[in-house]
Structure 1
Amino acid sequence: MARAKEFDPDAALLSALELFWRCGYEATSVADLVEHLGIGRASLYATFGGKRDLYLKALDRYQRDRLAPLLRGLSLPGPALPAVRALVRRYADESVADDLRLRGCLVTNTAAELAPHDPAAARSVEQDWDRVETVLHTALARAQAQHELPADRDPLALARTLLVLLQGLRVVGKASTDPARVQDATEQVLRLLD
């Protein structure tokens, strides 16, 4: 008869997500995970399949839990452009906030640390960026149809510009102690929507 798990796998996944987000993939050892999660090495492997598999599951959870609520406002009925602006400003604010700044964005961190040499991580990052781009593109196209955005603007190109800005905000916010860099860049890019 199989033994029942003596820990909550979901709580362990959230705890691993926090550790990976704070320390990164390479700097987090299996021993760190075992200690931080409070589970045995065998339980970690049996439940999650190892460090890389656990990281990818944590990244998926991060994308689901953090991205969906951020993007939800872009799909609500009514004016679309204020929601786009609010999303960009929220990214900027979070990128310089003391409690989030040093962690950055787990997707952005993954893009820099793992995507160049890990196809599964690269695929996950691309899928995330595709979702953000699609939601932004849809919102900007709606804004254009509602005459909030000038007709001569390309909603897809703007969505891609905003995606690159959002990712760049996380990198610069994480590395810079000057919040004006993030705030000035944000306001300059938002002028493209005028």
Structure 2
Amino acid sequence: MADIKHFDPDAALETTLRLFWRQGPEATGIQDVVSATGLSRSSLYATFGGKHDLYLAALQRYVEQRSEPTFQRLAEDERGLLAIADFFSELVTARCTGPFARWGCMVANAHAATQNLTAQNADTQVRAILDRHHQQLCQALTQALTTARSLGQLAPGTTPRSTAEVLALLAYGINLRSRNGADAHALNQTMQTALNALTPSRR
């Protein structure tokens, strides 16, 4: 007879995601997951595997449920630079206020944490998720910048793809600086300065 789970795996994974997001993989032990979810080690191992498997599942869930919908909205927004400005403004707000304030971005946190992972397999699997996330972010920014160019919002010579890489780095910086307590106003000013540099000069 098949084993019947007496808990919600989806809810358990969401709880685990928030634990890894807030604390990071290095500071989170399997006992922390047991305490947060209320599940036994055997239930966790049977459903998700070990700590590394749990972290991979949580990181992938974060990308699919939090990052990708945001990227899709940005790519489909036809306002050009205004869409990008709103993307960054919402990012700053999410990182500095609300229930997840000062947690940073789980993906940006993972970029900082990968240097501490010792298992080569772990490096490869985590980095694959991070690389896909980066590509999706840059693709969304590139699409928004291409729209901005068609609307005449970009300075001559501004290349959407290379500019998208710069803006992606700005997003990572906002995520990391906010986790360390950076002021929302200062982050928004930095974002606005970067976007102003992309617009045609007015003489």
The alignment's TM-score, normalised by the length of structure 2, stands at: 0.88
Q: Which residue of 1 aligns with 2:15?
A: 15
- Deviation track 1:121-166 (CA, whole Å, cap 9, x = no partner) reads 1221111011000111122112212323234211112101110000
Q: Which residue of 1 aligns with 2:90?
A: 90
Counterpart check, 1:120 vs 2:125: yes
The alignment's TM-score, normalised by the length of structure 1, stands at: 0.92
Q: CA deviation at 1:115?
A: 5.3
Whole-angstrom CA distance in 2 between matches of 1:166 and 1:78: 20
Amino acid at match of 1:18: R
| Residue pairs, 1:1-194, within 5 angstroms | 1-76=1-76, 78-97=78-97, 99-114=99-114, 117=117, 118-194=123-199
Gapped regions of structure 1 (runs ≥ 5): none
Q: CA deviation at 1:186?
A: 1.2
Amino acid at match of 2:27: A
Q: CA deviation at 1:78?
A: 3.1
Whole-angstrom CA distance in 1 between matches of 2:94 and 2:16: 21
Gapped regions of structure 2 (runs ≥ 5): 118-122
Of stretches 93-102 and 155-164 in structure 1, the one that deviates more from structure 2 is 93-102
Q: CA deviation at 1:73?
A: 2.5
Of stretches 36-45 and 145-154 in structure 1, the one that deviates more from structure 2 is 145-154
Amino acid at match of 1:34: V
SS of 2:27's equivalent?
coil
Q: CA deviation at 1:42?
A: 1.1
Q: CA deviation at 1:23?
A: 1.2
Residues 14 and 58 in structure 1, CA contact (< 8 A), matched pair in contact too: yes
Matched pairs, number: 194
Residues 77 and 83 in structure 2, CA contact (< 8 A), matched pair in contact too: no
Residues 22 and 103 in structure 2, CA contact (< 8 A), matched pair in contact too: yes
Of stretches 9-18 and 179-188 in structure 1, the one that deviates more from structure 2 is 179-188
Whole-angstrom CA distance in 1 between matches of 2:74 and 2:155: 18
Amino acid at match of 2:64: R
